[in-house]
Structure 1
Amino acid sequence: MANRIFLLAAALLAMSCSHGVTASDPSHLQDFCVADKTSQVRVNGLACKDAKDVVVEDFCYSGLHLAGNTTNKQGSIVTPVNVAQIGGLNTLGVSLVRIDYAPNGLNPPHTHPRSTEILTVLEGSLQVGFVTSNPENKHFNKVLGKGDVFVFPKGLVHYQFNNGATDAVAIAALSSQNPGVITMANAVFGSTPSIADGILTKAFQVENNVVDWMQGQF
């Protein structure tokens, strides 16, 4: 009997530890911790504002109903609502974005290192997809219409493309107050200082002039 109790306790402890390890952001230990954006203290997040200085505006953001400007090379724009916009999100482990797409607009292949993403199409049509990690590199992709929802697992490369003839709009929720974004092309060809041509020519099996041209785009 004692052995059974011990094994049960050990299993519960393992489950709780596993949950803590896989959580995207640490759980908060108080009602809220509104970010003090004037503080230089950084301990895997932002320091808390004094509770007596917290106001209702710390939990509110206005403007997500406004369309973003998609007149750029990609034909898309992301409007974030994370801890930088709402200080009250600090330690709560969630955020969201609005994404606007012109016809043929692309939110290019990128990853969120700290977050899973769940996307809902509000208007238009989107072709979306993600690719699993090495060595499989399996491509999951689907065309979404208004009201459709799609999940991009944490850390995997994913994209959205407006394959319709009209503007498209989506809202995406993310499982981190600060999910981060790494756009693949920007990181590889737009880094400062640049990655050496010899490394990129070998990685992509192309000539130097192709690498130089790609770097010139960023």
Structure 2
Amino acid sequence: MPMKSLSFLATLSLFALIHPLAIASDPSPVQDFCVGVNTPADGVFVNGKFCKDPKLATANDFFFTGLDRPKVATNAVGTSITPVFADNLPGLNTLGLAFARVDYAVNGQVPPHTHPRASEFVVVQEGTLLAGFVSSDQDGNRLFAKILNKGDLFVFPEGLIHFQSNVGRVPAVAFAAFNSQNPGLITIANTVFGSNPPINPDVLAKAFQLDPRVIMDLQVKF
């Protein structure tokens, strides 16, 4: 085979390998909308949902109410999250969007976590938050953090570890938006210390430079 043909085939093979990695967000829809339903009798399976017959879609499929209602933050970290995803707003299906309201108790936080499939922005409606993210190892694990007050917005790049913490003296409220209908959620502490089955404590002890007994205590907690 001529050298030029070999070179072309090698280039084509390399492109085939790297091209899937270039898709960085949800696929664009090829129809006006795909109102998500859970039964195959109603339509075609797309992006994790079946599509309702477009003729049967109504305005209510694209409507959500209740984001004005505060929730008491009673979980272990002092937050309550009201998600608006395709599961409870069917018209979001295939649109590459998701939203959430976050209520923070005093000293409440959304602990360090990452969304593997989405960037996020947070807008503060009430209160004062400390928000930040950490860059990758390649970029030196730099912390980008900011105090946010009412009306302020902060962006978290896709896949990077980030957090928000209420640093004010009163409860806080923020709204979040994602450029994926299923951003995914990996909470660092839960994932590392709460895996099922647990990660070998000796592995984590070396990774975190801690006594294995401390690791086992953390694994019990999470």
The TM-score, its normalising length taken from structure 1, stands at 0.86
Report the CA distance shift for 1:191/1:43 in structure 2 as closer, same or farther (over 3 A).
Answer: farther
Equivalents in 2 of 1:199, 1:85: separation in Å?
40
Distance in 1, matches of 2:147 and 2:163, equals 12
Q: Could you tell me which residue of structure 2 aligns to residue 201 of structure 1? A: 205
Name the counterpart of 1:7.
Answer: none
Amino acid at match of 2:65: S
- Residue 128 of structure 1 is matched in structure 2 by 131
Is 1:82 matched with 2:85? Answer: yes
> Which of the numbers 91, 114, 118 marks the counterpart of 2:117?
114
Alignment of 1:156 onto 2:160: yes
Equivalent positions of 1:170-185 (< 5 A) are: 170-185=174-189
The alignment status of 1:103 with 2:106, answered yes or no, reads yes
Q: State the secondary structure of the residue aligned to 1:214.
A: helix
Q: Can you list the C-alpha shifts for 1:74-132, whole angstroms capped at 9, x where unaligned?
A: 01122110111111111101111101101111100000111111110000000010000
Distance 1:43 1:52, change over 3 A: closer
Number of aligned residue pairs: 201
CA distance in 1, matches of 2:116, 2:176: 16
* Gap regions ≥5 residues in structure 2: 1-18
Q: Deviations over 1:145-188 (max 9, x none)?
A: 10001100011000000000000000011101111111000111
- 1:52-91 matches, within 5 Å, as 52-91=55-94
1:43 CA displacement: 5.5
C-alpha RMSD of the superposition: 2.0
Structure 1 unaligned runs (5+)? 1-17
Query: SS of the residue aligned with 1:211?
Result: helix
Where does residue 219 of structure 2 map in the other structure? 215
SS at match of 2:202: helix
Conservation of the 8 A alpha-carbon contact between 2:45 and 2:51: no
Aligned partners of 2:127 and 2:80: how far apart in 1? 15
Quote the Cα distance in structure 1 between the aligned partners of 2:40 and 2:102: 30
Q: Secondary structure at the match of 1:47?
A: strand
Contact 2:62/2:89 (<8 A) preserved:
yes
Q: Which amino acid aligns with 1:156?
A: L
Q: TM-score, normalised by structure 2?
A: 0.85
**Matches for 1:6-25 after TM superposition, within 5 Å:** 21-25=22-26
Per the alignment, residue 4 of structure 2 pairs with: none
Match of 1:50 among 46, 49, 53: 53
Within 2, Cα distance between the matches of 1:76 and 1:33? 32
- CA shift, 1:21, in A, is 3.5
**Fraction of identical pairs, as percent:** 51
- Partner residue in 2 for 1:28: 29
Deviation of 1:68 (Å): 2.2
CA distance in 1, matches of 2:128, 2:122: 13
Rounded Cα–Cα distance in structure 1 between residues aligned with 2:40 and 2:81? 27
Which position in structure 1 is the counterpart of 2:10?
Answer: none
